[in-house]
Amino acid sequence: MEKFSTARLTAERLREDHLADLVELHLDAEVSRYLGGVRAPEVTKTYLATNMAHWDQHGFGLWVLRTKDGAFAGRAGIRHILVDDIDEIEIAYAFKREFWGRGFASEVAIALTDIGLSHHELPSLIGLVYVSNGASRRVLEKAKLVRRRVVGRQHLCRLRAEPLKEATLWTEQFRRNWEARFEALDSLLDEMKSEEQSRTRRR
């Protein structure tokens, strides 16, 4: 899935010509505060190459995000990451400051969980967020990721696919059971109505 869209954003697979936008994003000290610090342009160039290679290897990765009018808003995606020597798949996102506090991060995080668990059928997704970054933690919570443990100075939040599948199956079975009950009730009411009409005619 090289492109997707949400209510207010469009997303396109990371490309070489996105470098200038990423450099500007990573040079903002406030944006980069929870991303490991400001990144020099040459570091972002390496970052771009690494994440483009991730796409080639895994078939998913980072997308560049734009508003519906084409303005660069940030980048987000799902990607492999080692956590305590365990291969995990992380939801990652970063937005320009003018898009903070407007629900864009939650919007794209929810879309990414669906892409990861439903489209790519990944077993689970994680999110890593600094303990002091309450806003980002709330974004992950809205995307249904649950805090599991602390890794260094970060919360590790997780969402597994299997409970979602179980919940979906339960909901579908619940719906079918109630539909069957309503059909039985409709049938009973029809029989009662027919019997009443028969009694009325015999009178």
Question: Is 108 inside a domain boundary?
Answer: yes
What strand order describes the sheet that includes 146-151? 3-5, 9-13, 62-67, 72-83, 86-95, 124-130, 154-160, 146-151
pLDDT of residue 195: 79
pLDDT of residue 100: 94
Question: Is 186 inside a domain boundary?
Answer: no
Question: Is 115 inside a domain boundary?
Answer: yes
Mean pLDDT over 148-159 rounds to 78
Question: Is 159 inside a domain boundary?
Answer: no
CA separation (Å) from 184 to 37, 121, 177? 64, 38, 11
* Residue 66: pLDDT over 80: yes
> Which one is predicted more confidently, 106 or 166?
106
Helix or strand or coil: residue 18? helix
Mean model confidence pLDDT for the chain = 88
pLDDT of residue 175: 74
> Which one is predicted more confidently, 188 or 170?
188
Question: How many folded domains does the chain comprise?
Answer: 1
Question: Is 19 inside a domain boundary?
Answer: yes
Question: Is 22 inside a domain boundary?
Answer: yes
Tell me if 64 sits within 8 A of 123, measured CB to CB: no
Q: Which residues of 1-28 are buried (b: 16+ CB within 10 A; e: fewer)?
A: eeebebeebbbebbeeebbebbbebbee
* Residue 24: pLDDT over 90: yes
Range of the domain at 8: 3-122
Tell me, what CATH number does 26's domain have? 3.40.630.30
pLDDT of residue 157: 85
pLDDT band, very low/low/confident/very high, at 158 (cuts 50, 70, 90) = confident
- What's the whole-model pTM score? 0.74
Question: Is 185 inside a domain boundary?
Answer: no
Question: Is 87 inside a domain boundary?
Answer: yes
